[in-house]
Structure 1
Amino acid sequence: MNKEELTSIIDYTLLSPTATKADIKAFCEETIEYGFKTVFVNPYYVSYAHSLLSPHGIKVGVPIGFSLGGATTYVKVEETKEAIKNGAEEIDMLVNLGALKSGEHDVVKHDIEEVVKASQGLTTKVIIETALLTDEEKVKVTELIIEAGADFVKTATGFNGGGATVEDVRLLRSVAGNKIGVKAAGGVKIFEDAVNIVEAGATRIGASGAIAIINGDVSTASY
């Protein structure tokens, strides 16, 4: 995999709670310069990022229920609708971890289904926080994601401990097969990490340190 191919599958992210408008502008300028296809910003900045990036054909994505996943389905749905109204073109929702841990699989599936429905056909990914789950829970939630009609299972936010590992990506891909994509986020810091993750089965990578990954600069890479 060369750097151009890798750039095409990286979702460049800026989700810091203290990011300023100036930070977002600089981030968008970097996105244009490096040729990333999709960025992720917090809901407050979706409209602004969209205004800067849409002339360049770059998509703006948004996290829903970020960063804990414990919001009610109604709130997640309304957040999704507003984000789309503001220009969001991809949706990364947090799974309801409490319901999953409680074995309330119908609740988890319904939560995802309703956000998928609200997404109106846009690419929808479900973040499961692999570091907080057992292997059995990772398998089950991936099955629920497939049944609910989402497009991707995503490893982590990078905010709640842990991140993407080759082992987890390989496990998720074994369940996902060719039905849905696997997005690896958190812990991918250098070019070699990204290549290994892709070889394990990831079809997207989320990273705030995307430029460091592409440039091979370990010192500035981050989640």
Structure 2
Amino acid sequence: MNIAKKIDHTMLKADSTKETIIRYCQEAKEHGFASVCVNTCHATLVASELKGTDVKTCCVVGFPLGAMMTSAKAFEASEAVKAGASEIDMVINIGAVKDKDWDFVRDDIKAVVDASKPAIVKVIIETCLLTEEEKRKACQLSEEAGAAFVKTSTGFSTGGATIEDIKLMKETVGDRLQVKASGGIRTRAFTEELIAAGADRIGAGNGVILL
């Protein structure tokens, strides 16, 4: 199985330097990864490093808590796209999910989807903090809001991707949306299990090791 094309080579640590980001871009080009996923401050650098390749520039928005104003998320997304991002991974408003404020959750996602065009949006639902019912609802709202993917985790909370969550998310969105697994993916074997369970994309900080 050629998994390279499914990997978002990810570096989101607060102390990541330009040197580190450039190395990630070089590795992504060498191995043919799907994208390099970074914080928005690195969007211009990554887009420049990846120019002329088919490796995409992916940026996280509202990361890692998802708890900022909708307008701030939308602005961050639009600025990242202007800087060269073609994929946006946004964090859902988890508190609003807990409040069952479904209109707010949907509108929060839709604002980012609209601000990101023509880039696609992956919605990070932070599965480790949600009940099964909340996971399903978050996936449904992501679809209603026009997202392209639902994604398990930031990798910065209490847990990461699980086989069970990928199956549940895939069951909920079918072939209408794609599913991204992220958080705690450290071995080739686990990567292949996640893909078999329905993951279309893998977010990992150690993409080279997974190969």
Which position in structure 2 is the counterpart of 1:183? Answer: 180
Consecutive unaligned residues of structure 1, counting only runs of 5 or more, are 215-223
Q: Is the 8 A contact 2:24 2:36 kept in 1?
A: no
| Equivalent residue in structure 2 for 1:83, among 72, 80, 85 | 80
Partner secondary structure for residue 55 of structure 1: coil
Q: Please report the RMSD computed on the Cα atoms of aligned residues, expressed in angstroms.
A: 0.9
User: Larger deviation: 178-187 or 22-31?
Assistant: 22-31
Structure 2: runs of 5+ lacking an equivalent: none
Residue in structure 2 matched with residue 74 of structure 1 by the alignment: 71
Q: How many residues align?
A: 211
Query: 1:135-189: CA deviations, max 9, x gaps?
Result: 0100111111111110111000101121110001001111011110110001221
Contact 2:81 2:119 in 1 (8 A): no
Could you tell me which residue of structure 2 aligns to residue 113 of structure 1? 110
Of 82, 87, 92, which aligns to 2:89?
A: 92
Tell me the SS of whatever aligns to 1:57: coil
Q: How does 1:193-208 map to 2 (within 5 A)?
A: 193-208=190-205
**Counterpart selection for 1:7 from 4, 9, 13:** 4
- C-alpha displacement at 1:37, in angstroms? 2.5
Contact kept in structure 2, 1:158 and 1:187, CA below 8 Å: yes
Q: With structure 2 as the length reference, what TM-score do the two structures score?
A: 0.98
SS at match of 1:103: coil
**In structure 1, what is the equivalent of residue 128 of structure 2?**
131
Letter in 2 for 1:141: A
Summarize deviations over 1:102-158 as a string: whole Å, max 9, x none: 110100000011111111132210001100101010011111111111011100010
Task: Answer yes or no: is the 8 Å Cα contact 1:80–1:119 preserved in 2.
Answer: yes
Matched, 1:44 2:41: yes
Specify the SS of the correspondent of 1:56.
coil
Matched, 1:155 2:152: yes
Question: Separation in 1 of the partners of 2:70 and 2:153?
Answer: 20
Give 2:208's aligned residue: 211
Cα distance in structure 2, aligned partners of 1:102 and 1:46:
33
Structure 2 distance, partners of 1:102, 1:65, is 19
Runs of 4+ with >6 A deviation: none
What is the TM-score of this pair, normalised by structure 1?
Answer: 0.92
